[in-house]
Structures are given as C-alpha cells and as structure tokens.
Amino acid sequence: MNHYRLILGSSFILATMLAPPAWSANPAGYGTAGGEFNIKISRVPSNEIAKAKSAKPPIEPTPEILAEGKEIFLGRGGCISCHGAEGMGDGPAAKNLPIQPRNFTNPKFNTYRTPGEMMWVLKNGSMGQTGRVPGTGMLPVVQPKGFISEKDGWKVLLYERSLGNQQK
C-alpha cells in the first residue's frame, strides 16, 4: 500500500511539474500561425504601464519615415523573421515560438496597444514579464539592451502600426 502511494504521489508531482502554466493551456490562437494571445492584455508590467502608455513617438509617420521603418523591419531590425514580410506574425521563426508574434495587420491591435507600449516591448523584449501574458521569446531590439537606436525603433513601430491602419 505504501509503495502504491509513493508511485501515485510521484506521478502527481511529475505531472504538476511538467504541466504548462494555466494561461498557456488553450488561449485563442495558441500554437497556430498568426494566432495571438489576447491583444487586450498588455505585455508591459503593471508598475511600468502608465509611463509606457504616455510615451509618444518623437517623429510623425510621414511616407519617408514609414519607408525607413519598413526597410528596418525587413532588414537589420530582424522583425521579418518572426512577424513575416507582411507583418502578419507568420515569419519563418514563428512556428518555433510558444505563442505567435503579433499580427500587425490586425486593425484592432492599434486600438488596444499604444506606441509607447510597443516601444517598451522593443526595449525590453517579450519574455512574459507581466505573468498575465506568456512570452514569445522576443529579445530587446532597441538599445541599450538591443542593437538598433531608439529613433529607428520608433520608425519600425510606426511602420508596424501603419499595417493595421491599412486594413480599416
């Protein structure tokens, strides 16, 4: 009888340790190309959300700025790898991620996420810091932790936001 309890107890502990977090069990779009985890939930931790939301782009989304943002998105920014050439979250690396990257062509994205929140993600990555949203594994791309300047980061995110505006 004690042997049975030991096996049962060990199995329960092992199953508990290997179980995915509750939020990753079956979110909408989880594990499907272009599927996103609830765009209404910010990836910014609650103690930084007010500051992030208030951050505004220091540049306007002119055609020239959007063209530069697209060039960075498709090139040295590396965004294309996960977000895909059209920004739909279906890049070649997306299939290897626990949840899919943002689909910037979704017009609802721009209504829920501010440019400042997007800049926070570019500076800090998306590693599940809030505990409310699973991380995608995105590392910081804007300096000082990343490899592109903050000005270039603003250009990229203005371009990304323009993709959703085209769908309205």
Task: Give per-residue pLDDT as tens, 113-160.
Answer: 999 999 999 999 988 787 777 777 788 999 999 999 999 999 999 999
Which tokens go with 157?
A: 């995110």
Contact of 29 with 133, CB cutoff 8 Å: no
Contact of 116 with 56, CB cutoff 8 Å: yes
Region 33-41: mean pLDDT is 68
Q: What are phi and psi of 142, to 5 degrees?
A: -95, 140
What letter represents residue 55's amino acid?
A: A
Mean pLDDT of the chain: 80
**H or E element: which one contains 36?**
none
pTM: 0.77
Contact of 167 with 106, CB cutoff 8 Å: yes
Sign of CA dihedral 135, 138, 32, 96: negative
**H or E element: which one contains 130?**
none
Rounded percentage of the chain residues whose pLDDT exceeds 90: 55
- Torsion angle, CA of 7/11/12/16, rounded to 10 degrees? 160
**H or E element: which one contains 7?**
helix 2-18
Region 74-88: mean pLDDT is 95
Contact of 119 with 55, CB cutoff 8 Å: yes
Query: What's the rounded Cα separation, in Å, for the pair 70 and 151?
Result: 14
Q: Please tell me the predicted confidence (pLDDT) of residue 135.
A: 76
